[in-house]
Amino acid sequence: MFFRRFIALGAIIFLFAQIAYSQEPTAEKPAASPVKPKATPTPTEPPITFNSVHVDGAYIALTFDDGPNATLTPKLLDLLAARHLKATFFVVGQNAADHPDILKRAVREGHEIGNHSWSHPNLGKMSDEAVRRELQKTDDAIAAAIGKRPTLLRPPYGSITARQKKWIHQEFGYNIIIWDVDPLDWKRPGPSVVTARILKETHAGSIVLAHDIHPPTIEAMPATFDQLMKKGFKSITVTELLAMATPIPPKPTPSPSAPRAVALPSATPSASPPVPTSTP
């Protein structure tokens, strides 16, 4: 009798243990972290502003601002023609409207015409509508003179904001052309100084700034052209130079240098202790 009660009690205890175990919360498996998709590289936008370009060869772009001038620009065209050099003229719209024949001659002889605003203001300090008027009037004057619209803009003083560059490029299709060689010829330092500065700063792919409204600049050009040609430079239009641009090759990574062998000092044998001499 006692044995049966003992068996029944054990069965009841076992049953309660099973129920308690089944009601214990089971530890949840940690959720697998989501696999992040690989970031696709965003395509880089092509540049719209140029100070210079990397080219394979000694090609440069000579550029002249603020003309055309009734007497100086034709003299400059004569100098370029005699040497078979090409240049880009960033013209002020008022002057372009006054001298369309000079623009026609320049294009006929292989040169390029770019927009330099109508009245040479500081575009970076103007409203969008005022800038638009300056560019559109000049664009129209150039198109009336040579039968096609320019594709290049040089802002006066090089002053233009990043936001202006974007909307001007979108609206007019202009590339913005600055420079990397500036002889400061508008200060009229003298022809020899202008020549020396241009020769010192010009390298392959340079965009050289000068002005065809200052007599000393025109006086400097024969020696400047001849010395540039002697160095092997060939002047082409800005658009031609941009078309020749090549990527800048990456700098070679220095190979890790082999560890230098450190010469350990050679062990010098210690001097034998002197043998004591017996004294009498």
Q: Which residues are the active-site residues?
A: 65, 211
- Other CB atoms within a 10 A radius of the CB of residue 89 amount to 26
- Other CB atoms within a 10 A radius of the CB of residue 36 amount to 6
Element (H, E) at 32: none
How many angstroms separate the CA atoms of 100 and 278, rounded? 121
Residue 120 is given by DSSP the state: -
Is residue 184 within 8 A of residue 158, CB to CB? The reply is no
- Three-state SS for 49? strand
How many angstroms separate the CA atoms of 209 and 203, rounded? 13
Contacts of 193 (CB under 8 A, 6+ apart): 183
Closest CA to 68 of 91, 37, 101, 44: 91
Element (H, E) at 216: helix 215-230
Residues paired with residue 89 on neighbouring β-strands, in sequence order: 64, 113
* Structure tokens that stand for 49 in this block: 């502003």
